[in-house]
Amino acid sequence: MSNINNKKSYVETELAKEFLLLTPGDSLQSISYYEERFNVSRGTVQKAIKALGESGAVKIETRGRNGSFIQEIDYAMVQEYYGIGTIIGCLTMPASITTKGLITALYNNLNILDCNIVYARNAEIRIKMLKKGKCDFTVCSLHSALLYSKNQNDIKILFNFGPYTYTSERIKIFRDSSKTDFDTTMRIAYDSENDDYVGLMNFLLDNNKKYNLVETKTQRILKALRDNLVDAGMWSIDDAKTIDMNLGIAKITTPDVIDYTTAVLLVRSDDFLTQSLLEKYINISRVIKTQYEVVNGLREPDY
């Protein structure tokens, strides 16, 4: 008897995973299909489908020869009831209006599921968490994704949201409004824990010169400029619009800067369920639209 119950529980869980990818009105596969797929009897499949319906997580409508259809489904309940587990995303800290918009967009795309969001500043840490199974997906810049996945096949880029979705246009900022470039007389803000900041700043600085780099968290650079703790740093243009200081601003024109502004979503290559769920529920156009609304003050951040 226990073997029969184990088979039924197994089929229930596998069907629940499949149902997470369906929407009301979608038809189920035939009983014969599930018999062959799960290598169980017809009766076991029928009992598993009945149990799913009786759980309250799914309402299934039978239409005789036309088969069975999903009438209603509570996705979060399906995850909880059948032990599929909460989907965990690890995102960058919501330090800028652009990242706040992106987080709001992802949260609103995934709120139909049982999905929790956690935060970590450093892209390398987020990617390590993903690889170790401590989260199911993460978001970082294209630059960081390429840097930490080079010559590795255990993670993959599932979505590329395009330029200026991770940060807006990157700029150099100066206390002296007449300045347009870094020089060795300046105290330059440097965030060694921010992979993208380090990568781009190192690209901009002349290796043959010795600069005075002052350790400063990215989100505190403006305050450091205001308090005369640094003379220069990097920022994003959208957030610079809110600055009430007469700063010098210069665009960063290197073509590679686009990779630092582009948001990508990473998953483990072998986690096919998470990939399928995210592909179903994340719509890139909807993400970009929501982010635009937040960035331009048409919508409040919500996460």
What is the rounded CA–CA span in Å between residue 24 and residue 228?
Answer: 59
**pLDDT value for 242:** 67
Q: In what order do the strands lie in the sheet with 248-251?
A: 212-215, 187-190, 232-236, 170-174, 248-251
Residue 105 CB contacts under 8 Å (≥ 6 apart), including other chains: 286, 287, 288, 289, 290, 291, 294
Domains of the chain: 2-77 (1.10.10.10), 87-166+262-295 (3.40.190.10), 170-259 (3.40.190.10)
Mean pLDDT for each 10-residue chunk of the chain (303 residues)? 68 89 91 92 90 87 83 88 86 91 96 93 94 97 92 92 94 93 96 91 89 94 93 87 79 88 97 94 97 95 90
What is the rounded CA–CA span in Å between residue 271 and residue 294?
Answer: 31
**pLDDT value for 76:** 87
**pLDDT value for 3:** 54
What is the rounded CA–CA span in Å between residue 180 and residue 174?
Answer: 8
**pLDDT value for 5:** 60
**pLDDT value for 2:** 46
**pLDDT value for 1:** 39
